[in-house]
Amino acid sequence: MKKAYLSMAFLLSLLTSVFAFSANCMAAEPYKIGAIFSVTGAASFLGEPEKNAALMLQDQINTAGGINGHQVEVIIEDSKSDETQAVLAAKKLIERDGVLAIIGPSTTGESMALVPIMNGAKTPLISCATGAGITQPVAERHWIFKVAQYDFSVAEALFTYMKKHGITKVGILTITTGYGDAGKKALMETAPKYGITIVADERYGPKDSDMTTQLTKVKAAGAQAVINWSVGPGQVVVTKNWYALKMGIPLYQSHGWGSKKNIELAGKAAEGVISPLGRIVVWDKLPDRQPQKSLLKKFTQDYEARFKNEPGTFGGHARDSFEMVIEALRKVGPDRSKIRDYIETKIRKWPGTGGIFNMSSHDHCGLDKDAFEMVMVKNGDWTLIK
């Protein structure tokens, strides 16, 4: 008796697998898109929301029937925040999986490491990192695009606002990571163009617990404002120290400040802190006619419903790069070269989460300082300021 059951079960399973196989054959080949994100390691604060966003969008598009009958398959590789791993992941995605395009990586270093590989393989890369070197010079970055705003655009947004409010001397605090290094460079290079002098240039480590010393020095140097450029707990600690010291000069943060968690953690110390933020953080404060508002609303609400967390600027980068590839696939089909050309020539006045993109043959990012809104913390919430 037992034997009979077993053989029946075996037959049944054979039958179902045959059916499954034939069903697979009938469906069109899926479109494969590679994704390289720093899901673990030092930059995991970037990779985590990026991975989530990519997975969510993949599911959404497949539930809606895919692209012209083709399902979309996003193959996500964790670069562990490491350049070597990113290179290996890209080679694997190109050679073994035969992806049509790659979105990511999360950091500037990893993106730079992929430039020669992508150019060699003639496969488009849409990076989620900020460094200007990723896409410039465009002549040598034929296959490379990026969707994150430039660091110097952040600096320009900050200095434009400061200039308007008569601030000419600032002290800067930057974190000793790649993020802070890039910020320090952007601030130093952009300041002279706006007639602003950097009177104090201070640094701190990503796990430091007190920045009172650095802030005291900034004040002693006669700065009229403090700019802090970091991500993670450091920006909250700086805010608390700034508040405790009663410095009497305003605190500006980089675009990394854009998370409600920072306001919660800093409490009343966060009141009055100013930062240039991507519109994804303040979408509910935008006027209805703003072209990004509806897509920001949908993306943020979908993300929050699924992951119980805000997507933030970084989740938005993954969304923008994914949607650019999807739109190109929809219009020109699975051809790497045509996808690249489409992104370069057809992504014009294209609203995304990071801003309104204007790609061209001399700019593979297509965003400037207008991608940011100046935002102040008031009563525990973001408020748009002019």
Partner 1 sequence: MLTIFLQFLFSGLTVGAVYALVGMGFNIIYNATSIINLAQGEFVVIGGLMMWFFTDSLHLPFFQSVLLTLLTAGLVGLLMERLTIKPLKSTDLLLMIMITISVSIVLRGILSFKFGKDPYGYPAFTEGEPFELGGAIIQQQTLWVIGITALCIVLLFLFYNKTIIGKAMRACAFDTTAAQLVGINVSQMVMISFVLSAIVGAVGGIAITPISLMEYDKGPMLAVKGFCAAIMGGLGRGRGAVIGGFIIGILESMTAGYIHSGLKDAVALIILLLVLYLRPAGILGSSAAARLRRF
DSSP symbol at 42? T
Instruction: Measure the CA–CA gap between 104 and 119, rounded to whole angstroms.
Output: 15
Member of 65, 116, 205, 380 binding partner 1 (CB under 8 A): 205
Residue 204 binding partner 1, by CB under 8 A: yes
State which of positions 305-324 bind partner 1 (CB under 8 A): 309
Least distance from C-beta 267 to partner 1, angstroms? 8
Looking at the Cβ atoms of 108 and 235, the one nearer to partner 1 is: 235
Residue 48 binding partner 1, by CB under 8 A: yes
Residue 245 binding partner 1, by CB under 8 A: yes
Residue 176 binding partner 1, by CB under 8 A: yes
Q: Nearest CA to 365 among 189, 150, 154?
A: 150
Member of 7, 16, 213, 337 binding partner 1 (CB under 8 A): 213
Residue 291 binding partner 1, by CB under 8 A: no
Residue 232 binding partner 1, by CB under 8 A: yes
Residue 94 binding partner 1, by CB under 8 A: no
Looking at the Cβ atoms of 65 and 205, the one nearer to partner 1 is: 205
- Contact between 145 and 359 under an 8 Å Cβ cutoff? The reply is yes
Least distance from C-beta 175 to partner 1, angstroms? 11
DSSP letters spanning 204-243:
E-TT-S--HHHHHHHHHTT-SEEEEE--SHHHHHHHHHHH
Q: Nearest CA to 256 among 182, 320, 197?
A: 182
Q: How many residues bind partner 1 (CB under 8 A)?
A: 29
- CB contact set of 35 (below 8 Å; sequence gap of 6+): 50, 51, 54, 74, 75, 76, 77, 102, 103, 104, 318, 322
Looking at the Cβ atoms of 54 and 359, the one nearer to partner 1 is: 54
Instruction: Measure the CA–CA gap between 158 and 78, rounded to whole angstroms.
Output: 33
Sign of the torsion angle spanned by Cα atoms 301, 307, 312, 318: negative
Q: Which stretch binds partner 1 (CB under 8 A): 12-20, 151-159, 240-248, 294-302?
A: 240-248
125-127/102-103 β-pairing: parallel
Q: Which stretch binds partner 1 (CB under 8 A): 144-152, 242-250, 316-324, 377-385?
A: 242-250
Q: Which residues of 79-88 are buried (b: 16+ CB within 10 A; e: fewer)?
A: bbbbbebbbe
- Residues of the shown chain interacting with partner 1 in the complex, contacts defined by CB under 8 A: 44-45, 48, 176, 202-205, 207-210, 212-214, 216-217, 220, 232-233, 236-237, 244-246, 261, 265, 267, 309
